[in-house]
Amino acid sequence: MNAVPADTQPDGLPQPARGQAMVVIILGITLAVLDGSIVNLALPGIARELNASAASAVWVVNAYQIASLVMLLPLASLGDRMGYRRVYLVGMALFAGSSIFAMVANSLPALIAARALQGLGAAGIMAVNAAMVRLVYPRALLGRGMAINSMVVALAAVAGPSVAAGILSVASWPWLFALNLPLGALTLWMGRKALPYNRVASNAPRPAGLDVVLNIVMFTLIFLGGERLGMHGGPAGSGLPWAGLALLAAGGAVGWVYLRRQWHLATPLFPVDLLRMPVFALSMASSVGAFGAQMLAYLSLPFLLLESYGRTPLRAGLLITCWPLAISAVAPIAGRLIGRYPDGLLGGVGMALFAAGLWLLAALPAQPADLDIAWRLALCGAGFALFQSPNNHTIVTSAPLHRSGAASGMLGTARLTGQTGGAVLLSALFSVWPPSNGTGEKVALVVAGCLAVCAAFTSSRRVAHMPRGHRHGR
């Protein structure tokens, strides 16, 4: 259901209600995004303990990402019709509850199934996250709210290995999911008191059930096909992976039918109306490339640091902490630069720095010092922070107010598309160069740098599509 026009919706919340609601939003999105990367450092150990290959263990991450991805747009639409608050709280309840199953899983299939349930709950949180921020902050302060939200998302996306390092230094990998239980319960308790209700239109069209099914089937087939190609695309010459190609072709066919059905709808489930806007489309492309590069790096770095460079889990986690620390330092600066310089220019410079950091990591010598690793990781974090806040600000503010849910869903869809695609691509690279001597990990970092360069190009292209008065800042 579409939100009622802005003149009937309060312009944000007053203090202290705004601060309380933002704490709930931050807690929820932190948990949802953190769990996308918290198991990365534990993947080698999970593979050994559950007798699985490195490529198969990556599916502990893939299952979470894909389950979240396929439900983001349907749940964003549901939030527009039933209220963002309800979708958010139900998603949090499912996320916290399914964490128990992840804790007690004693086989790789069981762990993957539990992670898929977690992903469904996380989709409810992420689908309406940006829309909730738009409800909480007045229009005059929305940029500040989006900057805070973007910083939290970026920090959570890369802080997983650091958090995992602390937990793994004193406990086994099932305890990685125990964090979700008390924090999830706290978020639910606070959310029931603090989150605002959004007014919804009673006569908004309901998405057709067939479109919801087509959305799920399209994303599922495409990424299953990509995973199949990754598993069987090695150098052994086992033949062309027909199953993977067939899944991709089927996903493309379903997508063609799905998008044709959406093309002429006033409020489509897949927001092709927003993608017709060049600034929105370029921002989405930039986000996909950036998060694809980030996931490639963050899945390969634990293997590189642990297996090739012989760092302990604690030491590796502390090194990787340089990335989120750089984000914390640069994100507030990026927030202040929004409005002074074009978002596309800021994002392009940020992605160029990110690419440089990734390529410098790939060029590390055989026995690098900790300092050599640390400053390169910090450069990656600084570049990503300079990109993320301006890019998310453009995605949210370029959409009409009554399409807040759709914009929020697409923001999460772009991020998860990039992250899931990056994980699948890494699986393919590891099938060719197994993670034993560091070659596969360094190839992954080079490819990640190339994706970041593509994101820099698409981000910079947005400047040409901005209104003349916005090209030199607002």
Q: What is the pLDDT of residue 88?
A: 92
For 140, left (φ over 0), alpha (ψ -120 to 50), or beta?
alpha
- Structural domain includes residue 465: yes
Task: Report the distance separating Cα 119 and Cα 125, nearest Å.
Answer: 10
Q: What is the pLDDT of residue 120?
A: 92
Tell me, yes or no, whether 30 and 175 share the same domain: yes
To the nearest 10 degrees (0 to 180), the angle between helices 129-136 and 108-127 is: 30
Tell me, yes or no, whether 230 and 290 share the same domain: no
Tell me, yes or no, whether 180 and 247 share the same domain: no
Task: Report the distance separating Cα 34 and Cα 126, nearest Å.
Answer: 12
Tell me, yes or no, whether 285 and 318 share the same domain: yes
- Structural domain includes residue 438: yes
**Residue at which a domain ends, from 240, 261, 282:** 261
Tell me, yes or no, whether 60 and 129 share the same domain: yes
Q: What is the pLDDT of residue 189?
A: 93
Task: Please write the tens of the pLDDT for every residue from 82-133.
Answer: 888 889 999 999 999 999 988 888 888 888 888 999 999 999 998 888 888 8
Q: What is the number of structural domains in the chain?
A: 2
Q: What are 372's two structure tokens? A: 């050599």
Tell me, yes or no, whether 447 and 349 share the same domain: yes
Tell me, yes or no, whether 244 and 351 share the same domain: no
Tell me, yes or no, whether 292 and 230 share the same domain: no
Tell me, yes or no, whether 226 and 298 share the same domain: no
Q: How many residues does the chain have?
A: 474
Q: What is the CATH number of the domain that holds 280?
A: 1.20.1250.20
Task: Please write the tens of the pLDDT for every residue from 197-226.
Answer: 877 666 666 777 788 888 899 888 877 776
Q: What is the pLDDT of residue 202?
A: 60
- Structural domain includes residue 26: yes
Q: What is the pLDDT of residue 5?
A: 43
- Structural domain includes residue 21: yes
Task: Report the distance separating Cα 457 and Cα 464, nearest Å.
Answer: 12
Q: How far is CA 75 from CA 200, 297, 416, 418, 448, in A?
A: 15, 29, 15, 19, 30
Tell me, yes or no, whether 144 and 67 share the same domain: yes
- Angle at CA of residue 52, ends 306 and 225, nearest 5°: 105
- Structural domain includes residue 412: yes
Prediction pTM value: 0.78
- Structural domain includes residue 1: no
Cα 200 to chain centroid, rounded: 27
Tell me, yes or no, whether 222 and 200 share the same domain: no
Task: Report the distance separating Cα 26 and Cα 49, nearest Å.
Answer: 34
For residue 181, give the nearest of 253, 106, 105, 96 by alpha carbon: 96
Q: What is the pLDDT of residue 9?
A: 60
Residues of the chain with pLDDT below 70 are 1-10, 55, 158, 200-205, 226-227, 229-241, 401-402, 436, 465-474
Tell me, yes or no, whether 48 and 85 share the same domain: yes
Domain that holds residue 225: 208-261
